[in-house]
Amino acid sequence: MIDPKILRQSSDEVAANLARRGFAFDAGAYLELESERKELQVQVEALRNERNASAKQIGQAKARGEDATPLLEAVKDLGMKLDTADARLQLVLQQLQDIELGLPNLLHADVPDGKEESDNKEVRRWGEPPAMDFKARDHVELGAQSGLLDFDTAARISGSRFSILRGPLARLQRALIQFMLDVHTAEHGYEETYVPYLVQADALLGTGQLPKFEADLFRTATETPYYLIPTAEVPLTNMARDSIIDARELPRRFVAHTPCFRSEAGSYGKDTRGMIRQHQFEKVELVQLTRPADSDRALDELTGHAESILQRLGLAYRVVVLCAGDIGFGSRKTFDIEVWLPGQQRYREISSCSSFGDFQARRMQARWRNPETGKPELLHTLNGSGVAAGRALVAIMENYQNADGSIAVPDALKPYMAGIETVSL
């Protein structure tokens, strides 16, 4: 959430910043509501003070044995006026909150202009796509040939956008996850964390998925509704909610492997083939909580941690900075890492690393105590995939395929494969 003080004091600048995203912020309507809020708060406070003073007079009159009927009538009238004014105040406060929760984050000054994915700017590349003396198959063909990747049976069980992995291919995904967790904990300083897969609405409100993106979530029909997590970012970041962290404990770095669940409501017709876009997928997520002064550096660092996984796996990739029109709702700056897929002959996203500034922290009241002032201040939050296990598996299948359809196991994963060096039926 954007600081309401900035919305009030620099509404034109906010509108111009958000316009780069293609988002129209009606600053005039917001300021009108804000002005009404101020007037109503003054009115409500004055009526409340007057009612309290009258109530005191009633008590004194009764103590003197006087008729308090006129005072009681006056208090009743004040009470009705107070109720009316307070009801209007609550409505205005709710309208202001609805506007504030619906506003995307302010963009970092480094974010390039642009309207869509094609306007993103490439930052760097690593590695070369593999040279193959045969026609590369995509992961769907490879999985069908081996029988180890089964979409048809998954569809009979759960519907579209699900898959079943079997045998050594399932083990290869598990190896990927273990490998990533080991690297991030042993070398990059993240604390391995096991988190709930079901969260309440407040957690999703804190990280920005609610209220705007409810259609993308799976919700239970229980008396108290729960949501299946779309990413471990939600429970990991909410670990700091309603708390004040000592400056000496920063930065905090968490890593978690979880399944992730997304309805993909806004992606009808996109990536319907294969494992690229599914309702359930595995991901290793990285989250950092930092001082504001450290967040820009932390984003570069976090992106590098995700890149190191692909480098060790020998997978060619490129890094792009997302343009203003393609960046996520809560992010102020995002780097996407795109891995080369021979079966598609193109780079596809495998990790998205974002800095949120204090956008999430303000929603969650996640703070740190500044030792220079002794006062609590909002944290900066960051997260990124370190990386998406399903897409990494797709990349390995396609980049390490052999002419006969078997898949060589990357050297980095061999210690996790119990002697299996080639995946085949």
Q: Which of 369, 388, 108 is nearest to 240 (CA)?
A: 369
- Whether residue 399 contacts residue 342, with contact meaning beta carbons closer than 8 Å, is answered with yes
Q: Which of 304, 302, 292, 305 is nearest to 359 (CA)?
A: 292
Q: Which ranges of 295-420 would DSSP assign to H, the alpha helix?
A: 295-313, 359-364, 389-399
Q: What are phi and psi of 41, to 5 degrees?
A: -65, -40
Q: Would you call 26 helix, strand, or coil by DSSP?
A: coil
Residue 366 neighbours by CB distance under 10 Å:
24
C-alpha separations of 196 from 120, 184, 185, 215, 260 in Å: 34, 20, 20, 21, 11
Q: Which of 402, 407, 401 is nearest to 424 (CA)?
A: 407
Burial class for 339, CB neighbours closer than 10 Å (0-12, 13-18, 19+)? buried
Q: HSE on the CB side for 339, CA within 13 Å?
A: 30
CA–CA separation, 147 and 156 (whole Å):
16
CA–CA separation, 212 and 7 (whole Å):
19
CA–CA separation, 374 and 149 (whole Å):
56
- Whether residue 386 contacts residue 184, with contact meaning beta carbons closer than 8 Å, is answered with yes
- Give me the active site residues, please: 262, 277, 349, 352, 391
Instruction: Report DSSP state, residue 414.
Output: G
Q: HSE on the CB side for 310, CA within 13 Å?
A: 32
- Whether residue 85 contacts residue 47, with contact meaning beta carbons closer than 8 Å, is answered with yes
Exposed e or buried b per residue across 12-21, where buried means at least 16 C-beta atoms within 10 angstroms of its C-beta: eebbebbebb
- Residues flagged as binding site for L-serine: 231-233, 262, 285, 383, 385
- Residues flagged as binding site for ATP: 262-264, 349-352
- Residues flagged as binding site: 231-233, 262-264, 285, 349-352, 383, 385
Question: Taking phi first (over 0 means left), then psi (-120 to 50 degrees means alpha), and beta for anything else, what does residue 264 get?
Answer: left
